[in-house]
Amino acid sequence: MTQGKLLVGNKATGSPSDGEAMVTPAPPSYEEATAGSSSPCYSDAEMLTEFSWDDKNIRRIFIRKVYAILMIQLLVTLAVVALFTFCEPVKDYIQSNPGWYWASYVVFFVTYLILSCYSAPRRHFPWNLILLVIFTCALSYMTGMLSSFYDTKSVVMCLGITAMVCLVVTVFSFQTKIDVTSCGGMLFIFCMVMFLSGLILALVLPYHYVPWLDAVYAVLGAILFTMFLAFDTQLLMGNKRYAMSPEEYVFATLSIYLDIIYIFSFFLQIFGSKRE
């Protein structure tokens, strides 16, 4: 009777027989466990990708790299704006030679198209940084020339307002639970409305200047690019619905830098007083 119980017990515990060893199945990986619950991504897999909390360290390095390049860009632009605003000979020269402005605009537009539309130039060192330097110099010249037509106090005030707004938007984007990256369609529609309105104003205002209409357009433009700044910042962070690929540090820097410059330009249009 005792031997029978032992045999039954051995069968119940599944003891190995004929020299076979028991193999414990390996636990599923993180990707397998979360395969059915991952967030959607843009169809453009080269630029935007799904975010996984496994790459926190990569994302942290990516954010530091973007903000380091961005600070250099802003310092260059600030130096050019200060030179064109405070130095009278330089200011007189650039205002009397508008051809340099249009040349810088062409350079800005061409480099922007190359960096935005083609992934190869913006991902390969050192061409990506060379194009970014050219883009920064061209846009800095345009911003400095625009600032030279305004009073010095107005330029300094708008610089301070822009810095405060960008700081608030950046802190908000890092702390809030609101997912701004899911509002891309709304921002695109807003942008197209502003673009078409700008074309109409460009045709109407040269013949009959309407101050309040110009001010309303500037306010809407400042709101639009403030929203774009929050959108691009959250794409950079990577913990929302959509995320910027860590390989796209040049495009991320370009986007945030362009948002800040446009915010400053619209604030200058709203609060700035032109020189007599």
Transcribe 39-71 into DSSP letters.
Answer: PP--S-TTTEE---GGGHHHHHHHHHHHHHHHH
- Integer angstrom CA distances of residue 149 from 136, 155, 173, 182: 21, 10, 33, 39
| DSSP assignments along 227-239, one per residue | HHHHHHHHHHH--
Query: Which among 107, 102, 266 has a CA at the least distance from the CA of 194?
Result: 266
- pLDDT of amino acid 232: 87
Largest Cα–Cα distance in the chain? 114
Say if residue 10's pLDDT is above 70: no
When pLDDT is cut at 50, 70 and 90, the band that residue 55 belongs to is low
Could you give the dihedral angle defined by the CA atoms of residues 147, 256, 139 and 198, in that order, rounded to the nearest 10 degrees? -70
- pLDDT of amino acid 210: 67
Say if residue 23's pLDDT is above 90: no
123-136 mean pLDDT: 88
Say if residue 236's pLDDT is above 70: yes
The answer to whether 144 and 137 are in contact (CB under 8 A) is: no
Q: Where are the domains of the chain?
A: 50-271
pTM of the predicted protein model: 0.75
Quickly tell me which residue has 């040349």 as its tokens: 103
